[in-house]
Amino acid sequence: MMNDSEEVQAAVAQPANDVQELGLLGLVQQLKSELRKVVFGQDLIIDQVIATFLAGGHVLLEGKPGLGKTHLVVALAHTFGGSFGRVQFTPDLMPADVTGFTLFDMKSQVFQVRKGPIFTNLLLADEINRSPAKTQAALLEVMQERQVTIDGETLSLEPPFMTLATQNPIEQEGTYPLPEAQLDRFLMKVVMDYPSPEDEARVVQDVTSGAGLRPGAVAQLCSPADILAIQKTVAHIKCVDEVVEYAVNIVRATRGTQGISLGAGTRGAISLVRIAKSYAYMEGRDYVVPDDVKQAALPVLRHRVQLAAELVISGQKVDDVLNKIVAAVEAPRQ
């Protein structure tokens, strides 16, 4: 009789497309395959976005224009039959434009709630740093509590829900830095770079020849209920005390390292463990190992720490400092 880990590993090898026959982990592998049909050369980004989705978190996606960020979100929504909403953040965008508002209906003589685009399964907050903090704060409640308060009335969102916010790293004029409280709500900060020459040539060839697969053309593999079942399974992946302590030690090391002016908080350690569980599940294990925590460290912590001015002036990057911290913290023996 197979244990839980063996059952998870066996699910990957099953070729069937039916959710019941394929198993939940096999379904995740199929999701990744479908996304790779429309987003070429970004396998690491796809893995990180899916890991965040399985952990029930949110993603801050940083990348230059034209790399397929919107394609990825739309395609992911289609793979599980979920709804998709997009908000283009601009300097004149108001919080009610995101969350919704109440409107007095003359016919019924009552106030009615007009829900905003935030009431969806996947929300693309495009160029989130182009709006001031007041509008950015409209996402705080929904990202943490999965609910929205409109004129004193609290409305819950239909799960699953994930916010994927994008920002352009090369344009600073007309932008507003995200406050620390906002950044801390994102489980991961994913950095999307240019694809390889081969993948870029494939993108150009497919698009210019008309053969490129549109995001809406990917196969629907499951339902939102299946995604919720996977999220529940991921949440129950085992993480022993030694591995939890390892994640905490990495986070605490960011607070005492010279050159870091702001270290990660407790939510950083919680996020490390949550993403590590996703990675463990995607590898076919029902338990977390230290390598899962190491793999999660950069995208989970890079937006939760701030470098001191002298390091920024010298040209050092957050990722370089974090890599040194992770290498210095002793991992538990497996």
> Average pLDDT, whole number, for the chain?
86
- Predicted local confidence at residue 334, as pLDDT: 60
Predicted local confidence at residue 213, as pLDDT: 63
Query: Where is 86: in which H helix or E strand?
Result: strand 84-88
Q: What is the pLDDT of residues 245-254, one digit of tens each?
A: 999 999 999 9
Q: What is the mean pLDDT of residues 25-36?
A: 88
Could you read off the pLDDT of 36-61 as tens digits, one per residue?
888 888 899 999 999 999 999 999 99
The predicted pLDDT at position 325 comes to 94
Q: Percentage of the chain surpassing pLDDT 90? A: 47
Cis status of the peptide bond prior to 160, with omega within 30 of 0 = yes
Task: State residue 19's pLDDT score.
Answer: 45
Residue 299 has pLDDT above 60, yes or no: yes
The strand pairing partners of 103, in sequence order, are 112
pLDDT at res. 305 = 93
- 63: pLDDT confidence band, cut at 50, 70 and 90? confident
Reply yes or no on whether the pLDDT at 276 is more than 70. Answer: yes
Per-residue pLDDT at 187 exceeds 90: yes
Confidence (pLDDT) at 214: 72
Q: Quote the pLDDT of residue 273.
A: 97
Mean predicted confidence (pLDDT) in 169-198: 83
Please, which residues have CB within 8 angstroms of residue 232's CB and are 6 or more apart in sequence? none
For the chain, which domains are there?
4-236 (3.40.50.300), 237-334 (1.10.8.80)
Section 65-81 average pLDDT = 86
**pLDDT tens-digit readout, 125-163:** 998 988 888 888 888 889 989 999 888 888 899 999 999
> Which residues contact residue 279 at a Cβ distance below 8 angstroms, ignoring those fewer than 6 apart?
51, 288, 292, 295, 296
**Beta carbons within 8 Å of 282's beta carbon, 6+ residues apart:** 25, 28, 47, 50, 51, 54
Burial class (CB in 10 A: 0-12, 13-18, 19+), 87: buried
How many CA atoms, within 13 angstroms, populate the side-chain half-sphere of residue 165?
A: 24
Distance CA 18, CA 26 (A): 10
Structure confidence by residue, pLDDT tens digits, 200-238: 898 888 778 866 667 767 888 999 999 999 999 999 999
Indicate the pTM of the whole model.
Answer: 0.86
**What is the arithmetic mean of pLDDT over 99-105?**
85
* Structural tokens at position 191: 């950095």
User: Is the pLDDT confidence value at 14 over 70?
Assistant: no
Q: What residues are paired with 84 via a beta bridge? A: 122
Which tokens in the block code for residue 122? 């996947």
